[in-house]
Structure 1
């Protein structure tokens, strides 16, 4: 596990890097818990111990929780006040967290340019529907990397059936106007990709197909990755409405519209878009994502790159001073941009 950096704040804070990140629609990813009720083999848990490793070796546990619901809400409010408007709730599985209800039902107003998105595997949405329906979420994004009991078991190592996932999608659609799907392209689901696409189109749900990002954790499973060329070729038989978006942070994406439904494909051939922040990063040549999210975790850390655990900053005590919290994070990002971390 990488060593967390202590808080260090310069007398004068340069807000430019944080404001640029926000202007380019960077995300605040709030990891409510590293725990999950399934164990997808590709999960790297963004620098915490992923569920597959804990399942194989119980001595390998993720960080202990430090934050309570009020701490999460303070961080969210502080960063939104500083200009970061797009907030995504992740895990592990966020609905696995005992704090999920208290956080998601007490979110501060997001404002006209803000948004709250829940990313979930869908298996517990129906269980939490009663309180979740009152959460001020703008969008729910359900991971659908499988379309049968067999592929779900192989990919996620679970006995939960695919009907539970699909019912979670239905429950999400009953509560929220915007529900989207995302699907990693893998050898284990290659035979189901068209079925997943058809499922989305029939329900007029946007879906995103994503090439597997290589990380230190899944290097041994690199042969499971499938190129996006197959789904791109198939989508071109369905529509001529296609364009590429490379603005903002992260990877570029190829966007299709099929009967008005947006289908995104993210793949490395579109290049990396580091928006200036990553110029001095020592792993830039290996990176395929760029700096596109600030990750807040349940153990009081925040880091400006999901694959750079060495950049994780301990802000545990700063929830007592929200204004200082934002300025410390801004200074940390400025140092990352300048290559002085």
Structure 2
């Protein structure tokens, strides 16, 4: 069955953080808006939760972290999910370990990947992430393309004074030349502790988008994905991900999140309305899992409303 929230929005996708660990140390990381947790779900527990989620109309799953590739059982997790009534299984990754694991992940049922790539300059990459591993990331991107994952999306967070200007041109050329989708993401204020980073590095995407608009062959809008605009070029796409503090983002949201500790999270921007779904899993209560989903969906509400435009 499909269950809509109190604002008429269906919940069709589940974004699952499977760990808070990461092998990079990006200075802007907001940890999926999650607070530190002291428990972590097993592969079997994740599969049981997703299985119940399909009863509520969820047919897309995105696996995130931290960094999901640091979990040795990621292939097992992907394999278990892909056996369910799920039409799209994807991961968001920094790509460092992707080259060595992507073939097994694709065989297990992984459909596509979002890969973080904020720069093509090795020194800048190390400045952002704390690690000199850009070469491994680029190898991971090529490996993902080689095994046929599609589409491959490259996530670039715009950081004022770090990767703006000519760097964006280089990333556009790199992405379009490979037939991938480049997602340009505007820095967001997700947690209070990110406020200083936002003030120092935020840069509006508006002037960059205007230049892209003039050069694109066509433009499309993903209304069911927070009204994102896609600029189409021969050989690839560039997608603009504006800040979430607008009513359009919330109006078309179809996503429910789950923390690595097994809490359903109705909204990225809040931690005061989480619903414990792992406890009923460990108690063997399918009805308890269903009740957790019902509660979480009923707690979904637009963080930004029309009145705030």
Q: Into which bin does the TM-score normalised by the smaller protein fall?
A: 0.7 to 0.9
Distance 2:244 2:253 in 1: 18
Report what 2:48 is aligned to: 74
- Alignment match of 2:153 (pick from 166, 169, 180): 180
Task: Give the number of equivalent residue pairs.
Answer: 295
Give CA deviations for 1:287-311 in whole Å, capped at 9, x if unaligned.
Answer: xxx8553221221211101121111
1:165 aligns with 2:123: no
Distance 2:38 2:120 in 1: 34
CA RMSD in angstroms, aligned pairs only: 2.7
- 1:312-327 map, 5 Å: 312-319=274-281, 320-327=284-291
- Alignment match of 1:206 (pick from 175, 181, 201): 181
Report what 1:219 is aligned to: 195
Distance 1:240 1:183 in 2: 21
Deviating 4+ runs (over 6 angstroms) = none
Distance 1:322 1:272 in 2: 35
Contact 2:187 2:202 in 1 (8 A): yes
Shift of 1:95: 0.5
Report what 2:236 is aligned to: 261
Report what 1:307 is aligned to: 269
TM-score, normalised to structure 1, is 0.78
Give CA deviations for 1:128-167 in whole Å, capped at 9, x if unaligned.
Answer: 235223121121111111211111111112232x111100
More displaced 10-residue stretch of structure 1: 82-91 or 229-238: 229-238
Could you list the runs of 5+ residues in structure 1 that have no partner in the other structure? Answer: 1-13, 50-61, 277-289
Distance 1:146 1:236 in 2: 22
- Alignment match of 2:215 (pick from 225, 234, 238): 238
Report what 2:15 is aligned to: 29
Shift of 1:337: 4.4
Larger relative contact order (C-alpha < 8 A, sep ≥ 6)? 1
Contact 1:291 1:304 in 2 (8 A): no
User: CA 1:31–1:260 in structure 2 vs 1: closer, same or farther (change >3 Å)?
Assistant: same
Distance 1:174 1:311 in 2: 42
Shift of 1:273: 2.5
Shift of 1:317: 2.1
Could you list the runs of 5+ residues in structure 2 that have no partner in the other structure? Answer: 304-309
SS at match of 1:16: coil
TM-score, normalised to structure 2, is 0.86
1:86 aligns with 2:60: yes
Distance 1:143 1:263 in 2: 14
Give CA deviations for 1:259-310 in whole Å, capped at 9, x if unaligned.
Answer: 152221122499423666xxxxxxxxxxxxx855322122121110112111
1:45 aligns with 2:31: yes
Report what 2:306 is aligned to: none
Shift of 1:176: 2.8
Distance 1:156 1:338 in 2: 32
Distance 1:269 1:308 in 2: 13
User: CA 1:336–1:128 in structure 2 vs 1: closer, same or farther (change >3 Å)?
Assistant: closer
Contact 1:28 1:87 in 2 (8 A): yes
1:298 aligns with 2:260: yes
